[in-house]
Structures are given as structure tokens and as C-alpha cells.
Copies of this chain bind each other. A is one copy, B any other.
Amino acid sequence: MSVSTASLAFSGAGPIAAATRQRVLDAAAALDYSGPNPLGRQLRRGRSGIVGVVVGDSLRRSFRDPVSIQVLDGLVSTLGPLDLGVLLIPGSSDPAGPAVDPLLETAAMDVAVIMWGGTTDDPMLGALRRRGTPTVLVEGQPLPDVASVGIDDRGGMREATEHLLSLGHTRIASVTLPFDRSRGEGLVALDQMDHLDWEITRRRLDGVTDAGVTPVAIWETPASLVEHGRTAGTALLSTPDRPTAIACQSDLLASGVVLAARELGLRVPEDVSVSGFDGLDLPWLAPDVLTTVVQPLAEKGAAVGHAVEAFLAGEGPTRRMLPVSLRIGTTTGPAPTVS
């Protein structure tokens, strides 16, 4: 029998007699041949069936972030039925090392996805453009030739800030995500605002401004983690003229701030109000429920999946912005009356 017949037998497509098919399968079993070699198939098809996903910077850090996880989960759920696999690509964690992971340069992938599509001059984008790999950017600024998926960060943060204003707060501080790749930690002076290079941080900060608020303090954190929120909260709430409300750019940061407040003997929300961003479930804050801007995380992953699908269908880069909504919990309340 010929190779072409065997191929027909395995693929199932094309006209083939049942008897021949069985004969091929028997022969395959005898030679313990276990189906077509994926590499040959991929070369012929010109498709690897693989989507490279750059998850934040270091894996350890990204994977501790429930936000990334849930988006990734939504993405995988969408890609699975399309017979696409997800190749994990570490972002550049080590400033001394290469700017982009070698996988990004050499691995076979049909489409690349950059979660946390960060800063404006990202070298990863250059590498992908050079290779001609279609790219989906999550939470980055829109670029020509690059598909993007984002949420209404700015509007959501504006809404949260307006909620605080309506409760009578005037001394509002902000705890933010990193400003740039150097990931500083601490108070940001007004004259340092120009090194704000991370798109998502900028947009969420702009939302506060949109509500007409100038924060009494801006605290930058190196990553969205509870411990950094705790550090920020401890610092911000230990000052004599402490803020009465703290708007955080993520739920993990916010929950750290709440923990810090509790440790300092402050009541939430009677003494200080705290708001977050993301809409996570935070069981360890129980019985408190965080006031937060809820973003549709699984849908975001699905939207990324659809953007990938569109690329593979030969359509151009797509652009999608998902809505957010404010969820009012128990961590925000009326501003304390001045004493």
C-alpha cells in the first residue's frame, strides 16, 4: 500500500474503503506506528497550532496573580476547542539577561499573546514584528498591526473615585501598580510622574484625575501582591494626617491595605475606606467584602482567544474593549467627621 492511502486512512478525509482502512490500521499496529508525526503535519500545513503566551515577567510573580491566572484560564478554554496549545513564554524578568526570551525568537508559534502588554518601547513587540508573528496585546496601548484586548480601566477607576467622593472623602490616596520596568516601591513625587511608562498604571491613575481628584499621596508598588499592599497601607496610614480613603489599582493591593489598617487598629470603613480593582474573591478578608471595580476576567481571556482565532482565519488585527462595573462592598463608607 502507498503512503498516500495510509494518510487518507488516518485523517479520515477523502474516499477510502473500510477494508483498506482496517488493513492500514492493522499494519500500523504491527509496526507500532502511533499516528502521524505532528512535525511533518505542521510543516506541511504551515501551522504549528501553538499560541505563545508571554505571562507578565517572571512566572513566579505572574502566577501568584489571580488576575493573570483567570485570564489565562479563559484563554485556554477558548483555545482548546480550536485545537490550539499554549506555549508558556517567560517575560524578561532579569534586567541583566537578554531583553526577550529566546523562545520568542525561535519557537514555532502561529500567534503570540502578550499579557500585561506593558510599556511603550517593549522589545518583545519588535522581535515579534521582525518574525512576522501576529500579536495580541492585553492591556497595552493600541498599535497598528497588533490586536488588542483591554478593559475600560479609566472609566472604572473614575467611577470608583466618584463613589468615594459621594461618601464625602476628600483626602484620597492612591496605591498603584508599577510605573515602569524598574518597579520601584514607595511614594512618588509629582516630578517623577514622567517616568510613568506602564500603560495600565497610567490609565487607572487618569481615571482618578477624571473624577476631579488629586491624590494626597501616590504610592507605587513593584507588583500586585498582598504584601506590597500591606507595606503601602502601613506607610500611608501611619502618618498623622492620613488619608480617609485609599483607591488601589488592584484587589490584592487593596486587601493588603485593609490588613495593614486592621493591624494599625483602624476600623474599615469607619476610619478609612479602601477600594480595589479587578473583582476577585478574597476569602481572607471575610467577613469584609471589598469595594472594587469588577472586570470580566474569563471573558477577557475568551476575547484574547477570539482575537487569535481571527488572526488564524486571515482577518486583520481586532480590537476589543470590555466594560467594567463597580461593586460596592463593605470596605467603603462615609468619610469620618473631622475632629
Contact = CB atoms under 8 A, between A and B. Distances in A.
A259 B87 CA distance: 37
In the complex, the count of this chain's copies comes to: 2
A266 interface: no
Nearest to A58: B73
A124 interface: no
Contacts of A107: 38, 49-50, 85
Nearest to A298: B60
A123 to B, nearest CB: 15
A32 B131 CA distance: 9
Given A40-B43, A42-B108, A86-B88, 4 more contacts: A37-B108, A39-B108, A50-B87, A60-B70
A31 B153 CA distance: 41
Interface string A49-83: 11000000011100110100110110011001001
A103 interface: yes
A63 B59 contact: no
Given A59-B73, A63-B73, A76-B90, A43 B34 contact: no
B85 A85 contact: no
A14 interface: no
Contacts of A132: 32, 34
A87 B87 contact: yes
A15 interface: no
Interface in A79-121: 80, 83, 85-90, 101-103, 105-108
A94 B101 CA distance: 34
B283 A226 contact: yes
A98 to B, nearest CB: 10
Contact of A88 (B34, B64, B70, B76): B76
A227 B282 CA distance: 10
A130 interface: yes
Contact of A131 (B34, B77, B87): B34
Contacts of A88: 76, 85-88
A106 B83 contact: yes
Contacts of A86: 87-88
Contacts of A40: 43
27 contacts: A34-B132, A35-B131, A37-B108, A38-B108, A39-B39, A39-B42, A39-B43, A39-B108, A50-B107, A58-B73, A59-B72, A59-B73, A60-B73, A63-B63, A63-B69, A76-B88, A80-B90, A80-B101, A83-B102, A83-B106, A85-B88, A85-B103, A87-B88, A88-B88, A226-B284, A230-B283, A259-B283
A39 B34 CA distance: 20
A312 to B, nearest CB: 16
A281 to B, nearest CB: 9
A5 to B, nearest CB: 21
